[in-house]
Amino acid sequence: MVKTIKIHEVGLRDGLQNEEVIVGFDRKLKWAELLSNTGIDYLQVGSFVNPKKVPQMSDSDNLFKELKKIKHKAILSGLVLNERGMDRALDCGVELICLGVSASDTHSLKNSGMATEEALNRIISMGKELINKGNSVQVSIQSAFGCGFEGEISEEKVIKIATRYIDEGLFNISLADTAGHAYPEQVKRLYDAIKKMSADTILTAHFHNTYGLGLTNCYAAIESGAEIIETAFGGFGGCPFTKVAAGNVSTEDFVSALQRNQKRNDIMVDPIIDIAKESASILGRSTESYVSKAGRIKY
């Protein structure tokens, strides 16, 4: 098991992207500044996608530009799906550019307008270009554990995509459970297989809580070599282009679980809980976080 787990907070992007209520720019900037200084390692500020399709992300460019002027400890990341998005991310000075392709052709077409193979070729080309320019890059495999439209996704297909990434020199790989279908034994099989491919791989896990297994799946991934876990304040989130959009693993739940075992005590959880509660009030619904409802155990 990895000794130090890094936290990639994705609430500002994945947590808000499917919400009908548009959170104002100033409030998002305030949340971003607070989150970036809680001790988390990465903060995903937004995505560079078509604002007509995902209006919550229409201010991503300006958020990055303003945050670059403000003191922040976390590495700022942004999600990119195509070349236009890549150019926007570079213009904003994004510190970690996240590229993604879906293992499901149906989800890939809905999400990016491309089937998996075409999207993969473009993502690999962009990833290599960015690395050659000196940028930090993460590549993901979305719908890696199942698809709301297609159902089961072949583990061989996921491993094949990971193999392509590694063969092309893209070693920072995230497996994303877009539909929330993952279960621990499956998680361990995939992470074990990919971890064996190269000693240079850096593995990230991103789980949705559709069937209540998110936190359990995080620990299964960690046991098999995942070093970074992507979570969202309040447990909010869900892909606008999947069949059943369910929330992410809650940042405050996961960090609190680590801290029960005296790990990542450097992360301040209370400000994250405050943001989760404030966002719930604005979005007009309750959080998906257990810790924000029950309170933290502090012994």
Q: Residue ranges per domain, the chain?
A: 6-294
**Model confidence pLDDT, tens digit, residues 85-114:** 999 999 999 999 999 999 988 877 877 778
**Mean pLDDT in residue range 6-16:** 95
Residues 6+ apart with CB under 8 A from 24: none
**Model confidence pLDDT, tens digit, residues 44-54:** 999 999 888 88
Write down the pLDDT at residue 79. Answer: 95
The CB density around residue 295, as the number of other CB atoms within 10 Å, is 10
Confidence of residue 244 (pLDDT cuts 50, 70, 90): low
Q: Mean pLDDT over all residues of the chain? A: 92
- For residue 288, give the nearest of 236, 246, 253, 211 by alpha carbon: 236
**Model confidence pLDDT, tens digit, residues 14-33:** 989 888 899 999 999 999 99
| Angle, vertex CA 225, rays to CA 95 and CA 177, nearest 5 | 70
Please tell me the least confidently modeled range out of 126-130, 164-168, 183-187, 291-295. Answer: 291-295
Write down the pLDDT at residue 245. Answer: 55
CATH: 3.40.50.880, 1.20.1250.20, 3.20.20.70, 3.40.190.180. Which one for 6-294? 3.20.20.70
**Model confidence pLDDT, tens digit, residues 256-286:** 999 999 999 999 999 999 999 999 999 998 8
Res. 182: pLDDT tops 80: yes
Q: Cα separations (Å) of 42 from 72, 77, 108, 212?
A: 10, 7, 25, 25
Question: How far apart are the two ends of the chain, measured CA to CA in Å?
Answer: 24
Confidence of residue 239 (pLDDT cuts 50, 70, 90): low
